[in-house]
C-alpha cells in the first residue's frame, strides 16, 4: 500500500511516502514559515521526484494533534481533502507518538513533550513501542512529580524540551535523559507507516467526522465560552 504522511502540527512540516513499510521519500523542515502556503507545493514536488501522481496514492495519514491549532487544521484539511477527492482511506496518528517513535528502541521510558504555555505541557508516556499513558495536557510540575517515584530513567523528546530542561533535571536528576536534536522532530515517515498499518487493520478514520485532538480549547474559544457562562471564569 502506498501512503502519504503529513505532519504540520507544529513548526515542523514533514511529508513522506511509504509503500509496504518501505520509505520512498521524505521532506522535513523545522522553520517558522507558513505551512498553508508551503504544504501543497511540497507534496507536489515530492510526488514529482518519486515519479508518481496523486492518483497512485492508496491512503493518506496525518498527524492529528496535539500541537498548534493552526498547524493541525492545515494538515487535517489537506489530508481530508485529498482522501475525499481521491477516494482513498484516511488515518490519524498522534503527534506525540510520532516524536516518541524516534527512540522506540531506547531502554527507558519515553516521554514526548510539547509546550502548552502557563506551565503546562502536552505529553504521554511510552516504553519502547508500548503506550503507557494517553496523550494529555498536564501541569509540568505535577507530571514530573509522578515520573520521579518510578525510579526509572526517562528519555524526554520534543523540540520544546529545551524550554523545560533545567526544571526536568532539577526534579529527576540523573534519571532524566535527553536525546540529540534529530530525535526531537516528528517524522512524516512514521506517520505514513503507522497510517498504513491502521488502514490495513481497518482502523482508518471517517473522513468527514475526523477531528483534531487539541486536548484543550483555543484561548479565544475558552474566553468566549466563559463570557457565555458555559465555563467558570
**Domain CATH number, residue 140:** 3.30.420.200
Residues 22 and 88 in one domain: yes
Supply 199's cell numbers.
488502514
Residues 180 and 190 in one domain: no
Residues 179 and 197 in one domain: no
The whole model's pTM is what?
0.89
Residues 86 and 11 in one domain: yes
Residues 12 and 60 in one domain: yes
Tell me which residue range forms the domain holding 91: 2-95+186-227
Residues 174 and 111 in one domain: yes
Residues 152 and 51 in one domain: no
Residues 113 and 173 in one domain: yes
**Strand 2-7 versus strand 59-63 pairing type:** parallel
Is residue 233 in a domain?
A: no
DSSP symbols for 69-132: HHHHHHHHHHHHHHHHHHT--EEEE-HHHHHHGGGTT-SSEEEEEEEEETTEEEEEEEETTEEE
Is residue 158 in a domain?
A: yes
Residues 23 and 59 in one domain: yes
Q: Over its length of 233 residues, how does the chain's per-residue pLDDT go in tens digits? A: 999 999 999 999 999 999 999 999 999 999 888 999 999 999 999 999 999 999 999 999 999 999 999 999 999 999 999 999 999 999 999 999 999 999 999 999 999 999 999 999 999 999 988 999 999 999 999 999 999 988 999 999 999 999 999 999 999 999 999 999 999 999 999 999 999 999 999 999 999 999 988 987 444 444 443 455 555 44
Residues 177 and 129 in one domain: yes
Residues 91 and 27 in one domain: yes
Rounded to whole angstroms, the Cα distance separating 140 from 146 reads: 10
Number of domains in the chain: 2
Is residue 232 in a domain?
A: no
**Strand 2-7 versus strand 12-19 pairing type:** antiparallel
Residues 79 and 134 in one domain: no
Amino acid at each position: 500500500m502506498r501512503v502519504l504522511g503529513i505532519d504540520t502540527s507544529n513548526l515542523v512540516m514533514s511529508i513522506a511516502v511509504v509503500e509496504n513499510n518501505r520509505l520512498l521519500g521524505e521532506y522535513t523542515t523545522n522553520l517558522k514559515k507558513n505551512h498553508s502556503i508551503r504544504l501543497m507545493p511540497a507534496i507536489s514536488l515530492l510526488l514529482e521526484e518519486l515519479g508518481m501522481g496523486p492518483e497512485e496514492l492508496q491512503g493518506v495519514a496525518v498527524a492529528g494533534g496535539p500541537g498548534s491549532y493552526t498547524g493541525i487544521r492545515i494538515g487535517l484539511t489537506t489530508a481530508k481533502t485529498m482522501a475525499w477527492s481521491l477516494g482513498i482511506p484516511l488515518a490519524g496518528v498522534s503527534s506525540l507518538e510520532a516524536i516518541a517513535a524516534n527512540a522506540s528502541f531506547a531502554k527507558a521510558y519515553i516521554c514526548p513533550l510539547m509546550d502548552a504555555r502557563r506551565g503546562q505541557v502536552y505529553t504521554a508516556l511510552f516504553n519502547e513501542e508500548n503506550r503507557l499513558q494517553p496523550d494529555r495536557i498536564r501541569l509540568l510540575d505535577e507530571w514530573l512529580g509522578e515520573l520521579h517515584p518510578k525510579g526509572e530513567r526517562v528519555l524526554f523528546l520534543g523540540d520544546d524540551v529545551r524550554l523545560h530542561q533545567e526544571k526536568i533535571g532539577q526534579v529527576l536528576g540523573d534519571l532524566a535523559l535527553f536525546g540529540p536534536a534529530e530525535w526531537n522532530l516528528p517524522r512524516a515517515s512514521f506517520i505514513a507507516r503507522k497510517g498504513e498499518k491502521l488502514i490495513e487493520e481497518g482502523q482508518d478514520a471517517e473522513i468527514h467526522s475526523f477531528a483534531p485532538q487539541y486536548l484543550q480549547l483555543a484561548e479565544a474559544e475558552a474566553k468566549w465560552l466563559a463570557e457565555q457562562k458555559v465555563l467558570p471564569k
